[in-house]
Amino acid sequence: PDDFIKTYKDFLRVRDVLPYYRYNPRVLASLADLLDSLWYSKERISRLSLLTSIKQYGVKVKAVREYYSRAKAVLHPFPIETNRKICRTFQRCFDMEILISRKQAESIKVICNSLLIGAPLSAEEEQWLCDNADKSPMILNRILRYPVASPVISAWARIHYYSHRYSERRTEMVGWMLDENLDFEIDEQTLIADFEYLNKKDKAAIRQFDEEWEAKEIMDTELGPLLGDPEKRSPDLFGFGRPPASYYSDEPVLELSRRPYRVPLRAAEFSKYKTGLPDFNKLRDAFYEDLQLFQNRTMLWAITYSRLPLPVKEKLLKKQYMPSTVNSFFSICKCLKSVRLLKWLSKQ
C-alpha cells in the first residue's frame, strides 16, 4: 500500500524487509519525508539507517561485477522533491553544528552524493552547491557533472572559468561554457596557463612532502627508540602523565595533480613516494609539441560532457574531428551511444 510507512515506528517494523518489497514511488517519498522532517528531532532515531533504506529501496538494477569493470547500481528516477530532500540532508552534514557524529556525517555525505548523481534539483539547491563548491570534492562533482542545463551553474562557471582552483577540471568547465555559447572554444593560452600552474603546484607538493618526510625520519630516529624503551622514557616527557607505548609518526601522503594527458615519469624511490614523480622537462616538451592535439581533445570531451541535445553534440563533434584524435572520437561515440556518429566515423 502507498501509506504503509507514516511514522518512524512503521519504518522500524519493515526496515529489514523493505528492500524486497516491490518498488512504489509513494513509499520512497514517505521515507524521504521522514528523513527530512525528523532530522532535527530529539527522538532516538537513526538518520543513517533511514537514508540507507532509501538507497536500497530505490535500486532498480543491482550492481553487477564484470570482467574488467563494475557496473553501478541503477536507481529508479526519483521525483525532484525527493532529490531536494536528499540534497538538504547532504547540506546539513556540512553545518558547523550537527546532531550526529562526524563519522556518521561522512557516511551520510557519501550516500547522499551517490543518490544525487544525475539528479536534477531546484535553483535553490543549485545555488547552495555553487556557494560551497570548495568545501568538498563531492560538491564540486555534483556541480560540474550536473545532468541538465542550469542558468545558476552556468553563471558560476562563467565567473570562475579562469580560476586555477579548477584547472584540473578544465574540460568540464568548457562544457558549461558551451551550454551557453555553441561557438565557444578553449584557447591555447588557457591550456598553457593551466599546465604551468599544475607544474608549479606539483613541484610545491613534492618539496613539502620531502620536508615532512625528513622531519618524520628525524622524529622517528630521535624519539622512536626513546619512547619504545620503558627504562629510558619519562612519564612526564610530554606533560601527559604517561607517554604512548611507542612513537613513530605517520608517513606523509603525496598528492599530485590529475591530468588528462600522459605524464612522463622519472626514476624515484617508490617506497617513499608511493607514486611516480613527473619528469617535468619531458612533460613540458611533450605538452608544447602536442598542444594543438590536446586542445582538440579537450574540445571533443567538453562537447561530450555538455548538456546539449545529442544532435547538437554530434554536429559539433564532427566539426572538431581530426584524424589524430580518432581514438578519443571512437570512445565518445560509445559514451554517447550514438550509432549515427559511429557510422559517420567509419566513413572518414
| pLDDT digit string, tens, across residues 66-118 | 433 445 566 778 899 999 999 999 999 998 777 788 899 999 999 999 999 99
Q: Is the pLDDT of residue 146 over 60?
A: yes
Same structural domain, 24 and 139: yes
Q: Which of 148, 175, 204 is the last residue of a domain?
A: 148
Same structural domain, 134 and 194: no
Same structural domain, 45 and 141: yes
Same structural domain, 89 and 14: yes
- 312, amino acid identity: V
Which residue's C-alpha cell is 582552483? 165
Q: How many domains does the chain have?
A: 2
What's the mean pLDDT in 119-125?
95
Q: Is the pLDDT of residue 65 over 50?
A: no
Q: Is the pLDDT of residue 64 over 50?
A: no
Q: Which of 278, 299, 315 is the last residue of a domain?
A: 278
So what's the pLDDT on residue 49?
94
> Structural domain of residue 77, as residue ranges?
8-148
Which residue's C-alpha cell is 560551497? 132
Same structural domain, 26 and 109: yes
Q: Is the pLDDT of residue 124 over 60?
A: yes
What's the mean pLDDT in 128-148?
96
Between 292 and 244, the higher pLDDT residue: 292
CA distance 180 to 185: 12
Q: Which three cell numbers stand for residue 270?
A: 617508490
Q: Which helix (H) or strand (E) holds 91?
A: helix 80-92
So what's the pLDDT on residue 229?
53
How far, in Å, are 4, 306, 309, 339 from residue 315 at the CA level? 50, 13, 10, 14
Q: How confident is the model at residue 247 (pLDDT cuts 50, 70, 90)?
A: low
Per residue in 204-217, pLDDT tens?
999 999 999 998 88
Is residue 290 included in any domain, yes or no? no
Same structural domain, 33 and 119: yes
Per residue in 150-208, pLDDT tens?
999 999 999 999 999 999 999 999 999 999 999 999 999 999 999 999 999 999 999 99
Is residue 232 included in any domain, yes or no? yes
Orientation angle between helical segments 123-131 and 151-160, nearest 10 degrees: 20
Same structural domain, 15 and 130: yes
Is residue 155 included in any domain, yes or no? no
